[in-house]
Amino acid sequence: MSAIAVMTSGGDSAGMNPGVKQFVEHSLERGLKPYLIYDGLEGMIDNRIKPASHRDVSGIIYKGGTIIRSSRSKRFLEESWRQRAYDNLRSHDIDKLVVFGGDGSFRALDVFYRDFGVPFIGVPATIDNDIFGTDYCLGADTALNIIRQAIDDVRDTASSFKRAFVIETMGRDCGYLALVSALTSGAEICLIPELPYDLDSLGRRFKREVQAGRTYIIAIVAEGVKFAAQLTEWLEDEIGMESRLTTLGHIQRGGSPTVHDRLMGFEFATLAINGLLEGRGGEVVCYKKSKMIYKPIGEITEGTYKINPLHLEAGKKLTR
């Protein structure tokens, strides 16, 4: 019986557990022997690799994060540690890999693939939704819903006290979370790395609106802009509105996966296993134009993700 293993690598995201559950169940359905690699690349090096059954993934579909845990690994950059990881896989007769992660994880596994010829298929999983070649990454919908709930809750108190609230979202250097959250929550300001902003223009606009009766302001700032604290001070000093900063932080990475992320985890895992059984390797399952497709790893890692131009155009009005 051919053996196949799964790992979750890099930042965790809701939807990984539903994906891992489907990985085990679909592997068994296809006559494969599934293994779980605990603690990502570090776990592969340290042989934290265990055979899996239905019992191991029972009751995990509603849980956020990843039950097999995750890591980043500097050791994996060295060939000697990759050799140890390969030897560990061979000791379990594992000859196929599925990895849930982002660009860094895919690059690491691509080097491993070229070193030892162990075929893998990647599943894009990051709340930042910033992987080139796919319109959707596992975990983004759950993160957006957590942000939406936070914005809705903050709006209640903002309107009650006539305050401005600045909400900082995650996303590294990508403004996807901030922009989509702003557009779908009716925010008045949105600052993201992809768009220039004009404080003078914003100041003139809000002074007019306050004179016309505006009583509160909601501003969404992507962490990559590095301007959330300064914007909070600016709103108070320039607009004259009492202001508060809310940094959402890592709550955006947790939480029970939404229905969308559970379904996407199911589909990604299914296509990853099917692709490996078809003889594919060194590829990523991507969701493009409402279809699941396979793309070579080089195309994914060499490209640069860009936010939907329609969303960017709509976001311009929130920057000036």
Question: Which amino acids are annotated catalytic?
Answer: 128
Check: CB of residue 101 under 8 Å from CB of residue 142: no
Name the H helices within 117-247.
140-161, 176-185, 199-211, 228-234
- 281 three-state secondary structure: coil
Check: CB of residue 63 under 8 Å from CB of residue 17: yes
DSSP category for residue 280: -
Indicate the pairing of strand 291-296 with strand 217-222: unpaired
Measured CA to CA, the distance from residue 315 to residue 179 in angstroms comes to: 7
Check: CB of residue 118 under 8 Å from CB of residue 125: no
Tokens coding 110: 């691509």
The closest of 78, 148, 138, 145 to 108, measured between CA atoms, is: 78
Q: At what angle do helices 103-116 and 79-91 cross, to 10 degrees?
A: 80
